[in-house]
Amino acid sequence: MKLLNRTTRRLAMTHEGELYLSTGSKLLEQVQELERLVSSSREQPQGLLKVNATFGFGRRHIAPALSEFRRQYPEVDVQLELTDRPMNLAELAYDVGIRFGELPDQRLVGRKLAANRRFVCASPTYLKKHGIPKTPGELRNQMCIVLRENDTAYGTWHFTKGKRHELVKVHGAMSSNDGEVTLQWAVDGHGILVRSEWDVQTSIDSGKLTRVLADWSLPSADIYATYPERLNLSAKVRVFVDFLETHIKP
Are 44-116+222-247 and 118-212 in the same CATH fold? yes
Q: Which CATH number fits domain 118-212: 3.40.50.300, 3.40.718.10, 3.40.190.290, 3.10.450.50?
A: 3.40.190.290
Give the tens place of pLDDT for each residue, 95-141. Answer: 999 998 877 666 778 889 999 999 999 999 999 999 999 999 999 99
Distance CA 72, CA 70 (A): 5
- Given a cut of 50, whether residue 40 has pLDDT beyond it is no
Name which of 134, 81, 57, 94 is nearest 236 in CA terms: 94
Among 58-62, 71-75, 229-233, the least confident range: 229-233
Assign 166 a pLDDT band (cuts: 50, 70, 90): very high
| CATH architecture designation of domain 44-116+222-247 | 3-Layer(aba) Sandwich (3.40)
Residue-level pLDDT at 153: 59
Give the pLDDT of residue 86.
79
**Domains of the chain by residue range:** 44-116+222-247, 118-212
Whole-Å CA distances, 151 to 94, 197, 227: 20, 21, 20
| pLDDT value, residue 48 | 95
**Cα end-to-end span (Å), the chain:** 69
**pLDDT, the chain, mean:** 85
